[in-house]
Amino acid sequence: MLTLVVQAGGESRRMGSDKGLLPFLGQTLIQRVIERLAPLADEVLVTTNHPQNYRFLNVPLFPDLEPGRGALGGLYTALQSASHPLVAVVACDMPFASRELFTYQCDVLVEQALDVVIPSSLEGLEPLHAVYRRETCLPAVRAALQQEEWKLISWFPNVKVHAVPLEEVTRFDLHGHVFMNVNTPADLQQAEAVARRSA
C-alpha cells in the first residue's frame, strides 16, 4: 500500500513564481507529475504552504508541520501525513519522474526489507524521487529535526538505505531526463522541448 506525496513547498526564488503552477504543455507542472505517477499509488497527497492555490487538484493538501525547516521539514510532513506503509516522495518540478523507476524502487524496498530506496544520479542521490518506509523513517526524521539537522539525508545512517546504482537507474532513464527539474524559465522551456520530442 503506497502513498504518493508530491512536494510543492519550494520558494521558487529563481523562477519568480510557484513552480507547481507553471503551465506545462497545456496543464500545470504539478498536474503532469501527478498524472505520470498516480497509477502507482493508493493515495495521492500534496505538501504545500499555499493550499489555496492547489485546491483545483482535488487531493488532500498538507502545509509544513515544521515551518522553516526546509526540505527535511517537508519530508517530515510527507511521512507524517501519509496513510500507507510505503511513501513515494517526488518534487513537483520533475516533469519526467518515472513510474517504472518508482515501481522498481518499491519492489526492491519490499523484497530486501529496506527503509529507503533512493536512486543515484550524476549529481548524487535523489531524495525527491525516493521511496520511504513510514514506520522506520518517520521517527528517524523527527529525531534529525530535534537535533537541528538540515540536510535531507542526515538521518540515513540510522535506517537501512539502498542507493540504486547509476547503471541500474539508466535502465529506466535512457535519455537522462528523469531527474531534470525546473528551476528557471530557461529550464521550463528546455523541459517542454524535451517533452514534445518524446511525445
**The C-alpha cell of 56 is what?**
483545483
Domain boundaries, the chain: 2-198
End-to-end CA distance of the chain: 30
Give the pLDDT confidence score for residue 174 in this predicted structure: 83
We find that the CATH architecture of domain 2-198 is Alpha-Beta Complex (3.90)
**The C-alpha cell of 151 is what?**
540536510
Residues of the chain below pLDDT 50? none
70 forms beta bridges with none
**Rounded Cα distance, 14 and 10, in Å:** 11
Give the pLDDT confidence score for residue 13 in this predicted structure: 61
Q: Which 3 state secondary structure label does DSSP give 191? A: helix
- pTM for the full predicted model: 0.95
**Rounded Cα distance, 135 and 160, in Å:** 12
